[in-house]
């Protein structure tokens, strides 16, 4: 066989091996990317880890603290850029369900959020989590809308309109996720 032909054949074989390696690498990256998004958007991955309503002694003022937990069970890191939610306190002395139109307008309400630049936003490693504490002091006439359940003594909260913007690390694709509403007795 001609030596030039042999060199050309070996060159094509080398190019084929490089192309095969690139193909396998890109498929693995795509599978990891897809699985990370799928798992992060699954049930229980964004949840309230703890919540506390404390009434200040001798006043009608309240201190409200909620700790959110964001869990990454995927294969790639997640950059958590922003999170937004609406908090309502369900006055259960009114038997109307919280989701019936107009009831929320009569209840205690606050908005919670963070919006960070992607370069400083928290990164959640695979198998890890990030906890974000949020709090507010409720004062003034709004505090009369915070009423403990007469039967259980709990304050019932509704967390609605949850919206998360995140990136899977090393991928320029912005993802939005809208978790389900939460209804909790605290």
Token representation of residue 40:
């992060």
Residue 25 pLDDT class (50, 70, 90 cuts): low
> Per-residue pLDDT for 28 more than 70?
no
Any alpha helices (H) in the chain, and if so which ranges?
Answer: 3-40
As a whole number of angstroms, the distance between CA 15 and CA 101 comes to 64
SS (H, E, C) 2-45: CHHHHHHHHHHHHHHHHHHHHHHHHHHHHHHHHHHHHHHCCCCC
Beta pairing partners, 184? 157
For 118-160, write each residue's pLDDT tens digit: 888 999 999 999 999 999 888 878 788 888 888 888 888 889 9
Confidence band of 174 (pLDDT split at 50, 70, 90): confident
CATH number for the domain spanning 148: value is 2.60.40.1470
Domain count, the chain: 1
CA atoms within 13 A on the CB side of 86: 12
Domain that residue 151 falls in: 3-185
């Amino acid at each position: 066989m001609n030596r030039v032909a042999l060199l050309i054949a070996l060159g094509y074989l080398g190019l084929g091996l490089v192309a095969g390696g690139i193909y396998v690498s890109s498929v693995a990256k795509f599978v990891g990317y897809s699985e990370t998004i799928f798992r992060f958007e699954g049930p229980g991955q964004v949840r309230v880890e703890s919540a506390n309503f404390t009434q200040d002694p001798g006043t009608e003022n309240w201190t409200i603290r909620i700790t959110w937990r964001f869990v990454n069970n995927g294969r790639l890191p997640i950059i958590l850029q922003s999170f937004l939610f609406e908090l309502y306190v369900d006055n259960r002395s009114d038997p109307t369900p919280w989701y019936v139109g107009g009831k929320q307008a009569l209840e205690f309400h606050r908005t919670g959020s963070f919006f960070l630049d992607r370069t400083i936003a928290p990164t959640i490693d695979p198998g890890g989590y990030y906890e974000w504490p949020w709090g507010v002091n409720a004062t003034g006439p709004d505090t009369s809308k915070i009423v403990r359940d007469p039967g259980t003594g709990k304050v019932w909260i509704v967390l609605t309109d949850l919206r998360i913007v995140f990136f899977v690390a090393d991928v320029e694709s912005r993802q939005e996720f809208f978790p389900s509403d939460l209804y909790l007795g605290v």
